[in-house]
Every structure is written in structure tokens, then in C-alpha cells.
Amino acid sequence: MTAFKDLDEATRRAGMEATIRTYFDGCNEADVEKMAATFHPAAVHYFPPGIGGPWKGARTIAENWRHLTLTIGSAWTIDRLVTDAQSLQAVIEWTHYKTKLNGFLRGDEWYVFDEESGLITEIRAYYASRSDGRDQVELEGFDYTDRGYHLTCPVSRPHPDARYSVK
């Protein structure tokens, strides 16, 4: 079988989009098997602090979304979707409707795909929300250091024209 990374770019792009859309269909249908089939078995779903993440494993991710669908009436839309076939990554904007609670949540997710199977290996969720007063707001359990993220501000602050002082 041909590795996902070795398929042509258009096929990879279409495959990534189809996998994400199938995942969301499975979420809306509360179909554990459909959702789990879109994930690598060792997939991880990261969340902002206080959500109870990360969720680890294809079945755990699927069972947790099924639970929310059945208990708070969760339903989702994909509002925007962008894929990068070369890096096997995608980003989406979504809306999570919580129909029993008469509310909704908007956010973004970053997807990483397995180069062999084309299945989702990682989702990093970012929510549109107010700051809760934390000085540092990061995904719980996500290793920013090993992934090469900036750990300090890359520019000198305060700016010479700033009207504030550093704490």
C-alpha cells in the first residue's frame, strides 16, 4: 500500500479534508466507530486549560464526543477549513453548539496527519474565550519546548514609546 505522504498533493489535500469532515459527521451522529476510524490509534486531542485534557487514543476521543452529544446536545459545524498537503497539517474554524444549554462556543483546531495512513494523529483546540486572569495561557499537556515554540518574547519590551512599565 502506498504511504499517504507519497500520494500526489491533490490526493493528500482531498484526503485530509475528507477525514476531518468524516470526523465531524461522526461527532454530530454520535457514532464512535466513525469518529475513531479517522484517528491513528495513539492520537491525542489537546485542549485549553480547565477542559480536562488531553484526551489520548482514538476511542477515548470518540467516546468523549459521543458523551457530550448525548448529554448536552452537542453539534458542530466546520466554518472554515485550510489544508497544507505538503506538511500534512490542516486548520479549521468551528462552532460547537450546546443545544441543551442554549449556547455555543467558537474556536480553531490544528490537525496533524500520520504520514503512512493519513489518519489524524493530533488535534490542538483553541477556544474563543475571555482571559481568566492567568499570566500564561497554553494547552495543558502540550510540549511547547520539544515542538520548538518560542518560550520567551522574541522582541525587546517594553517598546521605547510604551506607556507602561514591566511588572
On the question of pLDDT at 1 being above 60, the answer is yes
Q: What is the pLDDT of residue 11?
A: 98
Q: What is the pLDDT of residue 8?
A: 97
Q: How confident is the model at residue 167 (pLDDT cuts 50, 70, 90)?
A: low
What integer is the mean pLDDT of 82-98?
A: 95
Check if the beta carbon of residue 40 is closer than 8 Å to that of residue 56: no
- The sign of the dihedral angle between the CA atoms of 116, 90, 21, 126 is positive
* Grid cell at residue 167: 511588572
- Report angle CA 43, 119, 33 to the nearest 5 degrees: 75
Mean pLDDT rounded to a whole number for the chain: 89
**CA-based R_g, the chain, Å:** 18
For the whole model, what pTM was predicted?
0.86
Check if the beta carbon of residue 10 is closer than 8 Å to that of residue 32: no
Q: What's the CA gap between 119 and 114, in Å, rounded?
A: 5
